[in-house]
Structure 1
Amino acid sequence: MRKNWHSVREYQALRATISGGSTTSAARRLGLTQSAISRSISSLETRLGKTLFQRESGRLRPTDEAIQLNARLDDLFVALDQIDGENDQRQETLKLIAPPTYAHRFLVTRVASFLKANPNIFISFEIGTSDEVVTGILDNRFDLGITGVELTRTGLNLIPFRNSQTVCVMKPDHPLAKKKIIRPEDLDGQDIVALSSRHARRAQLERAIAEVGAKAHVVAETGTTVAAIEMVRAGLGLAVVSPFPAIQANEQDLAVRLFEPPLQYRTYFAVSDHRPLSRVARAFMRHVRLTTPGDSFDTALTAD
């Protein structure tokens, strides 16, 4: 087989497996069988002479080679999208809104890479509260939003994107950093940076601590996960938060440990139920899914 031979199907299997964390998830997304995905991945590894995935705790974790290859494939798949719509040269606009943590820690780089590959598209990107995301979609002021708040509203469609487990974040020299899993009883007497009381997870965490007879010392509270993490980084104890998207990969100055019992966090694409999703919104959602690898704390979700 020639080394310069390329298979779009193999590349699709790679990107879908990175995004979903398993060949089963990739198969559902692409409408193929699990064995077909496995064969494509195996064929690609053989052709490249590289290991692209390693199995860890029942999930497939992409290697550095897989992540680098996936990034190089962005232009290819955006170009394929452009071929599908090559007869329409009018500039398309996407009106996007997201809360600060999603905007700054996650979406900015994806908006930039999407626009570089799609010069004929214009994006208006607003940053607001989770409530403003919902009202903006319902008022037809935005085409697409991202939110971590589950709200049932008439006319609102929340499309599942990520599921994240709760983690405990601290400095690497913190005494609890020696543990692989942090439990509520471990927080007894510990200094904690808490999310403000408007966050539903704050009450859940307090209940979990109280149920085991423990008592933590809240030294500060803040409205965003990013601010809580930065306070921890500055030496103010620890924080129990969602890792996605606030915690970046390979942050050497933080220790991130799984917290049990799990307080699940979900991230959704927010769209209107009263009007069709535009082609550019669908393309951007696809771009976001395919450029977001899973890790040990969060996994991709697909719409039912």
Structure 2
Amino acid sequence: MSPRDIEIFRAVMTSGTTARAAQLLEISQPAVSQAIQRVEAHATLRLFERVRGRMVPTHEANVLMTSIERYFVGFETVEHVIRSLGSYRHGRLTVACFPALGNCFLPRAIAGARLDSLGIQLSLQVMSSREVQQKVQSGSADIGLMASEMSPSGLEHSIFSSLPGVIAMAPDHPLARRTVVTPADLQSDHFISLNAEDVARQALEAMLARDGITLRNIVETPYSITACELARCGVGLAFVHPIAAVDFIARGLVIRRLSVDVPFRDQVIFRPGKPLSGHAKLLLKLLRVQLDHDCKQVQAALKSRKSASRSG
């Protein structure tokens, strides 16, 4: 059994048919079938059931695939290093970022940075905090931005931001007339919650529970940007990351300060023993400049009573 046979087996597992695997690898379908036969013969196991033209993997095939995926992750890491070395003079960087900052904040920062004039080529990959951690650990990303619920153990890390969460609502919501929202006010409407594993949500609910306050949860979402849009559309109140709310303020979203601070903490991570390049340090500096700018926008929105006056 050769490494090529393993690659063909993986292609069949991911595509579901020998025809698609052949197309993916640009080889003939008989060559795919022969490779699968060699793998099965070497393993002395039946790895696929043939059902209506599809290759349905057996339990043994799925176990084997788990080990093979680990092999390919290592191989893809090597490829990433080679690409990075090949384009090093161009300042190529791969940044993995969780959605609260990756979907709106990073595009704003990139737009204002003029990367071409700085000699930076950027690959921006938006994914869950868990995936960000894995990307940086494997060496597939140079810099990672993730939420605080993920442990940075084994990685170089620092706090990127620690900001009090804000209450988001539609412009005609009665609470828009306030400058500050109290925990008791949160019972006045349906509530849009972040996922149960979100650390900020857990801290908010623990604080409310001490006061005997229960939220009227109506929608749960893992993303602050989704919660912002739901709140803007009048679905209910939402407790969100303030930086995620910035793009929605111009579209009518109202944000208000909560009378108690419940922070969203974000961290920047990178691999130990691998000093950040000059381009990476420059990019982080630009991100912090954008963060400072966005924080000022958030503060201005929190002080504004323009939306509230329209409601009154």
Q: Residue type matched to 2:256 in 1? A: R
Q: Which is worse superposed, 177-186 or 145-154?
A: 145-154
Q: Residue type matched to 1:262 in 2? A: D
Write out per-residue CA displacement over residues 151-178 of structure 1, whole angstroms, 9 at most, x where no aligned residue: 4444312222222112111112212222
Give 1:142 deviation, angstroms: 0.8
User: For residue 60 of structure 1, what is the aligned residue in structure 2?
Assistant: none
1:199–1:291: structure 2 CA closer, same or farther, 3 Å change rule?
closer
Write out per-residue CA displacement over residues 206-249 of structure 1, whole angstroms, 9 at most, x where no aligned residue: 22223223333111111100111111112101101221233337
User: For residue 223 of structure 2, what is the aligned residue in structure 1?
Assistant: 224
SS of the aligned residue for 2:242 comes to coil
SS of the aligned residue for 2:245 comes to coil
Write out per-residue CA displacement over residues 96-129 of structure 1, whole angstroms, 9 at most, x where no aligned residue: 1111231221112323443544363321221211
Equivalent pairs, count:
211
2: CA distance between counterparts of 1:277 and 1:235? 44
1:250–1:120: structure 2 CA closer, same or farther, 3 Å change rule?
same
User: For residue 60 of structure 2, what is the aligned residue in structure 1?
Assistant: none
User: For residue 94 of structure 1, what is the aligned residue in structure 2?
Assistant: 93
Structure 1: give runs of 5+ residues left out of the alignment: 1-87, 299-304
2: CA distance between counterparts of 1:193 and 1:89? 44
1: CA distance between counterparts of 2:91 and 2:179? 48
1:245–1:215: structure 2 CA closer, same or farther, 3 Å change rule?
closer
1:75-224 equivalent positions in 2, closer than 5 A: 90-118=89-117, 120-149=119-148, 151-224=150-223
User: For residue 283 of structure 1, what is the aligned residue in structure 2?
Assistant: 282
1: CA distance between counterparts of 2:286 and 2:145? 14
SS of the aligned residue for 2:282 comes to helix
1:113–1:172: structure 2 CA closer, same or farther, 3 Å change rule?
closer
2: CA distance between counterparts of 1:201 and 1:219? 18
TM-score (norm 1): 0.63
Query: What stretches of structure 1 move > 4 A for 4+ residues in a row?
Result: none
1: CA distance between counterparts of 2:200 and 2:163? 13
Give 1:189 deviation, angstroms: 4.1
1:296–1:120: structure 2 CA closer, same or farther, 3 Å change rule?
closer
1:286-301 equivalent positions in 2, closer than 5 A: 286-292=285-291, 293=293, 294-295=295-296
1: CA distance between counterparts of 2:169 and 2:245? 14
Bigger RCO (CA 8 Å, 6+ sep): 1
Contact 1:102/1:246 (8 A) holds in 2: no
More helix by share: 2
Give 1:89 deviation, angstroms: 9.3
> Which has more radius of gyration?
2
1: CA distance between counterparts of 2:200 and 2:119? 41
SS of the aligned residue for 2:217 comes to strand
1:231–1:217: structure 2 CA closer, same or farther, 3 Å change rule?
same
Give 1:263 deviation, angstroms: 0.7
Aligned CA-pair RMSD: 2.4
Contact 1:166/1:262 (8 A) holds in 2: yes
Structure 2: give runs of 5+ residues left out of the alignment: 1-86, 300-312
